[in-house]
Chains A and B, each alone.
Chain A
Amino acid sequence: MLIKELKIEGFRGIKKMGEPLKLKKFNLILGRNNACKSTLLQALCLFPSPYETTVDGNTPRIFQLVSQTSQNDLTPFLYRYAGKADIEYDSRIGKIKFGIDKSIHLYIERQLSWVEYGSNIVYSDEIQKMLAKKSSEELNSISIMLTDFSDQYIEKLWNIIEKEDAHISVPVDFINRCIDEKFTEITLRHHDLYMRKELDGKPFYVKFSDLGEGVKKFARILLVLSSIKPELVLWDDFDSHMHPSMMKIAMEYLSRSTWQTVIATHSIDALSQIPDLDTKDSQIILVKKGSQDELIHKIFTVDEIDTLIEGGQDPRKLVDELGL
């Protein structure tokens, strides 16, 4: 498991946290709108370094998190746009920390004290060794924030996708289980992705861009994950465009894979699927922003959430009881 614990202070809308957030292999975050669910995912996404790029981009991942005019402007990451933000991770390689003010400060804990790395190149080299990654590309793909990946990015991964047989397993083993059509393969033709199906024994190709939003998004995510195999998968607004049957298959896939997963959702359907999953390494985190912008959270086991839902209680509304 990549990240065991997360501590945040002064980052985005979070002034401080009541207590550090302990993570398990499969984590589902619930909270009202603007309760800083996305901020938690963004903080996790910056591991192991805000300077690493995302898998499908060339700019440092910290600058891909917010839309802004200046690439060097770090104020959107600071609580009330001033002061200093701290993000601390207890990870499988030990404790690392970033401080963000007008620049980014990188720290690794050595013998219970923090060593600051003045240069990102030195830090990155050190982290690469600690995580046993052979290249900066491998380091970049350690964690992934799931988004609408482009056909161009998937084309770059196509050799691995074919090697992994994902172009066949994605439609046959996953997509077909949550739609009414039967696709046989995903193909890449003239830089565009197509789904292949058979009608009366004859092949027919549907362009990806003509598919429904949910299918398109889910298929692309599955292709990317099956090829880059990250250690940490982050998925914000998990429920958008997804029918409950697709959510169930997505959650089964994510929870049974080797990586750690953190999902943010508002969906009662996603919650009600949780008891069907492996419960030992899973948890549900209810979050709420307190009156002083402190992040309050409470962790529930899968069994506890199951009990509440079976008893007619909606855990999404129980969030309101946090901190009272």
Chain B
Amino acid sequence: MKYIDHSPKHPFVNVLIADGKYEVRILNRVVQKFQTDNVSLFSPATPLGGQKGLVSVLNVLKVLTDKFSNSNFLIVIDREHVSNTAQIMDEVKKFGIVPMDEDKTEYYFKAKVGQKMINVYVTIQGMKKNIEEEVSILIQQTYAQEISPDKDKIRDFLNTKNKNVESLIDDSNLPKLKKSFPCLIQVLECISNKHREV
């Protein structure tokens, strides 16, 4: 699976990131662990940054659904913004998006926007707050050291090992990543499987 920021080819999934570039860096490396070419993740991120949170992501989801034919979306969001997929299914209604109960899982739901059906995949990062908690777990698994889930502390620690978050992920296998990023890996498996069925 590839993570791309331009020239998508069908089938692809539009990635909507509610937080920042850190998630992009992690996602970019994690998807490379999936040895499949049947789908790519498309994230045309702006260099300007942007707002954070669920409302911002759902606003973008509505515009993209209205304007483009692609019908697959992945929402990447920290747990500090939202606790479960049901909460997102409830929230999308305010944007004229009608979620369907059929086939819904912890990581996926179908929705209707006008006449168009869309597939929404969801990954909620962190146990309590954010994706840094999951990076801390990966460090703990790799180096048996407890590092506070703080971006600066993680970076400082990885510097001492001559690593960064990308190389930390590169050096980890899928089962290990599944323990640290359980939600992300499961949703990527879900995406990969759905497109394999097609």
Contacts and interface: CB of A to CB of B under 8 A. Distances in A.
B46 A313 contact: yes
A194 interface: no
Nearest to B47: A268
Given A320-B6, A320-B8, A313 B45 contact: yes
Nearest to B68: A321
A311 B67 contact: no
A243 interface: no
Contact of A314 (B16, B46, B67, B70): B46
Contacts of A309: 46, 48, 50
B67 A324 contact: no
Interface residues of B, number: 28
Interface stretch (B56-64, B130-138, B151-159, B172-180): B56-64
Nearest to B56: A311
Contact of A312 (B7, B46, B68): B46
Given A304-B63, A307-B60, A311-B59, A317 B47 contact: no
A320 B14 CA distance: 12
A272 interface: yes
B73 to A, nearest CB: 12
Contacts of A308: 60, 63-64
Contacts of B80: none
Contacts, number: 76
Interface in A297-324: 298, 300, 304, 307-314, 316-318, 320-322, 324
A268 B47 CA distance: 8
Contacts of B51: 310-312
Q: Is the interface of A mostly helix, strand, loop or mixed?
A: helix
B34 to A, nearest CB: 22
A274 to B, nearest CB: 13
Contact of A304 (B48, B50, B67): B67
A268 B48 contact: yes
Given A307-B59, A307-B60, A317-B5, A312 B67 contact: no
Contacts of B5: 314, 317
A300 B66 CA distance: 10
A320 B50 contact: no
11 contacts: A268-B48, A309-B48, A310-B56, A311-B60, A312-B45, A312-B49, A312-B50, A313-B44, A321-B68, A321-B70, A322-B68
